[in-house]
């Protein structure tokens, strides 16, 4: 993995914040990953995601916590639909939506927690 960002996607608010997302502005808390397809294919990355037993696959009424894949283009959407179908799980593959970085205190929160140990 080259990099990752925590943010919000899928909603209508022009400038979502953690507070507006919690209040139900329609955005989902999301993770954006930058990876090298020469090292790890998109299909392999998605396979690891759908195989993770901690990833909930049921749809939630609250968009803030839904599990979904936001494909960046039609090629990614086709790969995602194929991986999800093969897994037998029900994870929606959605079209790209505007991305908003979360507040700085949300970025790399796992690294920050690890540093406290």
Express each pLDDT in 81-103 by its tens digit: 999 999 988 899 999 899 999 99
Report how far residue 22's alpha carbon sits from residue 10's, in angstroms, rounded to the nearest whole number: 14
- Nearest of 67, 41, 40, 37 to residue 55 by alpha carbon: 67
**3 state DSSP class of 8:** strand
Where does 22-68 show beta strands of DSSP type E? Answer: 28-34
State the CB neighbour count (10 A cutoff) for residue 68.
17
Spans of all domains in the chain: 3-115
Express each pLDDT in 30-58 by its tens digit: 999 999 999 999 999 999 999 988 877 66
What is the predicted pLDDT for the residue at 111? 57
Has this prediction a pTM greater than 0.85?
A: no
8 Å CB contact between 50 and 84: yes
Express each pLDDT in 5-37 by its tens digit: 899 998 888 999 999 999 989 999 999 999 999
Tell me: domain 3-115, CATH 3.30.1060.10, correct? yes
């Amino acid at each position: 993995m080259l990099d990752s960002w925590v943010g919000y996607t899928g909603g209508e608010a022009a400038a979502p914040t953690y507070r507006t997302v919690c209040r139900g502005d329609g955005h989902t808390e999301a993770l954006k990953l930058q990876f090298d397809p020469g090292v790890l294919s998109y299909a392999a990355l998605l396979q690891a995601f759908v195989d993770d037993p901690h990833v909930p696959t049921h749809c939630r009424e609250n968009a803030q916590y839904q599990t979904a894949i936001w494909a960046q283009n039609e090629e990614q959407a086709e790969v995602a639909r194929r991986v999800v179908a093969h897994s037998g799980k029900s994870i929606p593959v959605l079209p790209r939506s505007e991305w908003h970085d979360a507040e700085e205190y949300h970025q790399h929160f796992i690294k920050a927690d690890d540093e406290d140990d």
